Amino acid sequence: MKITVLDSYEEISCSAASIITSELEKNKQLMICAATGNSPTRTYEILQQTYRSRPALFSAINIIKLDEWGGIPMDHKGTCESYLQTHLIGPLAIDHSRYISFFSNPENPQVECDRIKNELDKRGPIDICILGLGMNGHIALNEPADSLKPRAHVATLSASSLTHPMISGTQQPSYGLTLGVADIFQSKMILMLISGSKKKEVTRELLSAKITTQFPASLLYLHSNTICLVDKDAYGN
């Protein structure tokens, strides 16, 4: 894992957007796995700015949703779908044919995960996987456990995940839908964004480089091309 400490959230966002843009210039058909939440929001805003001046650069980009809150309506304001439609899919004019998305309230969650797995098998691998760092060390909704599932699966949500700001004060999801660790590790590049003083303790744990499934983000040390961008507030002293 290559760890770069930058001064601010704005700097890590600019750096992440620059990396993505540079890769798009090499291959307009990139498949990007998109995380949600505060960590990538500014990165997506910068990509929107680039789109407005260079729309052709995004004409063939493909997006796959990293994870989703399960058991709530797709148009609920707290879903990852609502976030991505607002911050990425709509602003970059991503056609539905170039977007792979977990449905948030499927009749059969396991069948939905199998559908995503099959789509990724046909259209993958992921070129750039954008991740945040969960407060308990999770990546996507791969929660701390004695063992982790490799492919897209239905996840039992931890108490920590159920306090996520996206779903705070809203209808609570009853499960998660997420890409698995093997799906993420097949990505050609993993881009992890960490910012804010509230992430200081979990960042310290990541930087200890102790690799364990009880802290899923630590497994990223085993990936050959992980770039971790951290701001000074999260990095601490």
Q: Say yes or no to pLDDT of 170 above 80.
A: no
Query: Can you give the pLDDT at residue 173?
Result: 83
Q: How confident is the model at residue 161 (pLDDT cuts 50, 70, 90)?
A: confident
The answer to whether 78 touches 72, Cβ cutoff 8 Å, is yes
Q: Is the pLDDT confidence value at 40 over 70?
A: yes
- Give me the pLDDT at residue 174, please: 81
pLDDT bucket at 165, cuts 50 / 70 / 90: low
Ramachandran quadrant class, 196 (left: phi over 0; alpha: psi -120 to 50; beta: rest): left
Angle between helices 9-26 and 38-53 (to 10 degrees): 50
Asked if residue 176 lies in contact with residue 154, where contact means CB atoms within 8 angstroms, the answer is: yes
Radius of gyration of the chain (CA): 16
Domain range 2-232, CATH class: alpha beta
Q: Which residue has the higher pLDDT, 161 or 89?
A: 89
Residue for token pair 């098998």: 121
Note the pLDDT tens digit of each residue in 77-110.
889 999 999 999 999 999 999 999 999 999 999 9
Whole-prediction pTM value? Answer: 0.95
**Closest of 142, 140, 226 to residue 191, by C-alpha:** 226
Taking only the tens place, the pLDDT of each residue in 115-142 is 999 999 999 899 999 999 999 999 999 9
Q: What residues does 153 pair with on adjacent strands? A: 178
Average pLDDT, the chain: 94
Cα 218 from Cα 44, distance rounded (Å)? 25
* 226 pLDDT higher than 90: yes
Cite the active site residues: 67, 136, 138, 143
Across the range 45-73, mean pLDDT stands at: 96
- Is the confidence at residue 185, as pLDDT, over 70? yes
Confidence band, pLDDT 50/70/90 cuts, at residue 59: very high
- How are the residues of the chain apportioned to helix, strand and coil, as percentages rounded to the nearest 5? 40, 20, 40
For 149: left if phi > 0, alpha if psi spans -120 to 50, otherwise beta; the answer is: beta
pLDDT at 169 over 80: no
The residue whose two tokens read 């046909």 is 122
pLDDT higher than threshold 80 for residue 167: no
Tokens of 133: 């760092």
The partner residues of 194 in beta bridges, in order of sequence, read 230
Q: Across residues 46-74, what is the average pLDDT?
A: 96
Q: Is the pLDDT of residue 10 over 80?
A: yes
Handedness of CA 77, 78, 80, 83 (dihedral sign): positive
For residue 162, what pLDDT is reported? 67
